[in-house]
Amino acid sequence: DTELGLPAHDGEGRAITAEFPLFYLTNVYVPNSGQKLDRLGYRTEQWDADLLKKMQQLEKDGNKPVIWLGDLNVAHNEKDTWNEGAKHLAKSAGTTVEERASFERQLSAGYTDAFRHLHPEGRGHYSYWSQRAGNREPNKGLRLDYFICSNELMEDLDGKKACV
C-alpha cells in the first residue's frame, strides 16, 4: 500500500506499507517542518497523530506488530544531536519542543526506537549532516532516521532481539 489512506496526506507520497507474515513494515518520509517552521503545526498535530493512528489500526486489524522506519525528521533527544543546548535548536526543524514531544507521544503509545533500545547511551550515530556547512567529515549531525517497532518485537526471543 502506498498511502496512509487519508486524503490530507496521501498526495505527497510519503508512505509505503508492506505486509509480511509476522508484521507490517512501513517506510515513511515524515514532512519537514520547514526552515521557517511553517509546517510545524501540520506535522505535529496532523501527520504525526495520523501516522500513529494508522500504525495502531494496522496492529489491531492485522493482529500483528508493526515496524515503521525512515526519515522521521526529528532528533528525539540530546543524544541525537551533535550540539544539544545550542540556542537555535529550539527554533530549527527536527529539534523543536513540539516535534520531540510529538515523537515521544508516538513512542509512549507502545512503540520502541530500536537503535536507542540497543544502544541507550550511543552518541555520534547520525543520519543527517549539513552539506553546506561541511559537517559530514567532523560528524556534526542529527539522527533523523529510525526503526520504530511495536514493543512486543523488542522482547527477547531465544536470546535474540526480534526487531534487529
Look at residues 48, 159, 31, 158 and name the one whose alpha carbon lies nearest to residue 100: 48
The tally of CA atoms less than 13 A away on the side-chain side of residue 115 is: 18
Given 42, 50, 71, 145, the catalytic residue = 71
29 is catalytic: yes
Cβ atoms 129, 141 nearer than 8 A? yes
Given 29, 42, 128, 145, the catalytic residue = 29
Q: How big, in percent rounded to 5, are the helix, strand and coil portions of the chain?
A: 35, 20, 45
| Cα→Cα distances 142→51, 62, 83, 129, Å | 22, 34, 9, 7
Beta pairing partners, 19: 24
Which residues are designated catalytic?
29, 71
